[in-house]
Amino acid sequence: MKVAVVGATGYTGGEVLRLMVHHPKVEVVAVTSKHSVGEPLASRLPFLKGQYNLTLEALDIKKIAKKADLIFIALAHTQAIDPVQRFINSGKKVIDLSADYRLRSPTLYKKWYGTAHRYPAFLKKVVYGLTEVYRNKIRRCDLVANPGCYPTGSLLPLYPFLKEGVIDTSQELIIDAKSGVSGAGSKPSSKTHFPELSGGMAAYNIGRHRHLPEIEQELSRIGKKKMKTLFTPYLLPVNRGILTTIYLPLKKKLSQKKIDAILNIYQDEFFIRRREDSPDLAHVRGSNFCDIAGFATDSGRTAILISAIDNLVKGASGQAIQNMNVMMGWDESLGLSAPGLFP
Ligand SMILES: NC(=O)c1ccc[n+]([C@@H]2O[C@H](COP(=O)([O-])OP(=O)(O)OC[C@H]3O[C@@H](n4cnc5c(N)ncnc54)[C@H](OP(=O)(O)O)[C@@H]3O)[C@@H](O)[C@H]2O)c1
């Protein structure tokens, strides 16, 4: 299948290309950039030297739609709204890595992304690409809104407990999530500048991160009950990874045995790995795995869930490729089955 990557020079676009080198059923036929049109791909992404013979081109929808059957869009939020629509209208399959089609409510989109969505009626039809949860819908769709990195790290451990109906929804759920700095994209800022970041760690956007409405939307959809969350993200002085800790208020006491049984819903999921000790960013770096552990507490009224993902892989480009595999009816792990880096 012929594939294009729009926003190929960014962190997630580059990661789609890195992973696709190993994909047996895909040929990358177009890569776009805003600032480097006409340059060889490897001039911006030197780690891909020798892998693709491609020149960066401008985002010309008609030209790209003529060459490619499926398009990955890896643009900043608000910039993907129109390209997604135009590719869909040209009969193409699209996987959008931005947040532009994740929220089902246009009111929430405007509130959190500061601009009115130009296709509000369309939003409810879009499939949210949390693969392990929405696989059947993904199989039948042409547009996937690929989930955010924090939502992926939070929702995957929570899903089994939502399905089981054991969460006390009268209380707020607490999510604490620490992210590597590539989560902020490739554009530098004072917060992501090495001397400012190295050796420290701080929370940011406390209680007002853009991924909060996305997490709450999906908690309420899957759990079929409105759920409120206290979400605190932190910036870690590492490049990749999100370690998420969730404090889960329970309707009634849960033993360790019961927690283990609830997490068994994932026993046949290739990309979800159960851990008995704490998941570790080092063990998922560069891979599409999500490592999950659940712990009972002495009181039994709160469970502690911990997950680890690579924000650029399961939290973005890897999950996007997993979704492409599902859309095409291919083995879900094509191009993605390798474990991460060691050490
Ligand atoms: N980073 C993560 O961990 C992560 C995880 C999940 C989802 N996401 C989402 O994925 C999307 C991409 O994130 P990223 O981290 O890859 O961002 P990034 O590193 O900043 O890359 C942005 C890309 O967009 C291109 N671009 C910039 N302005 C453009 C314009 N006006 N028109 C067309 N292309 C333009 C850039 O090309 P040039 O620089 O070559 O011009 C670059 O290829 C974002 O919506 C982000 O929220 C990111």
Closest of 130, 134, 10, 150 to residue 72, by C-alpha = 10
Q: What is the pLDDT of residues 136-187, one digit of tens each?
A: 999 999 999 999 999 999 999 999 999 999 999 999 999 999 999 999 999 9
Residue 30 in this model has a pLDDT that exceeds 90: yes
The arithmetic mean of pLDDT across residues 245-255, rounded, is: 97
15 and 185 Cβ atoms separated by less than 8 Å: no
DSSP label of 40 = B
Summarised one tens digit per residue, pLDDT across range 233-248 is 999 999 999 999 999 9
Residues in the chain: 343
Checking if the pLDDT of 283 tops 90, the result is yes
Does the pLDDT value for residue 73 go beyond 90?
yes
For 252-270, letters b (16+ CB in 10 Å) and e give: eebeeebbeebbeebeebe
In order, the DSSP letters of 180-230 are: -GGGG-SS--GGGSHHHHTT--EE-STT--THHHHHHHHHHHHHTS---EE
Residue 10 has pLDDT above 90, yes or no: yes
The rounded distance, in Å, linking the Cα atoms of 31 and 40 is 10
- pLDDT band for position 34 (cuts 50, 70, 90): very high
Predicted local confidence at residue 27, as pLDDT: 98
The Cα 335–Cα 331 span in angstroms is 9
Relative to the CA of 97, which ligand 1 atom is closest? 10
- List pLDDT tens digits, range 49-60: 999 999 999 999
CA of 225 to the centre of ligand 1 (A): 34
Which atom of ligand 1 is found nearest the CA of 13? 16
Please indicate whether residue 286, judged by its CB atom, sits closer than 6 Å to ligand 1.
Answer: no
**Residue 108 confidence class, pLDDT cut points 50, 70, 90:** very high
C-alpha of residue 247 to centroid of ligand 1, in Å = 32
User: What is the per-residue pLDDT across 177-233, written as a single tens digit (0 to 9) for each?
Assistant: 999 999 999 999 998 999 999 999 999 999 999 999 999 999 999 999 999 999 999
Q: In order of start, what are the domains of the chain with their CATH numbers?
A: 2-125 (3.40.50.720), 150-311 (3.30.360.10)
* Nearest Cα to Cα of residue 141 among 72, 78, 94: 94
pLDDT of res. 140:
95
Percent of the chain with pLDDT strictly greater than 90: 98
Is the pLDDT assigned to residue 343 strictly greater than 90?
no
- How far, in Å, is the centroid of ligand 1 from the Cα of 268? 33
**Nearest CA to 295 among 308, 311, 307, 313?**
307
Q: Is 290 known to be catalytic?
A: no
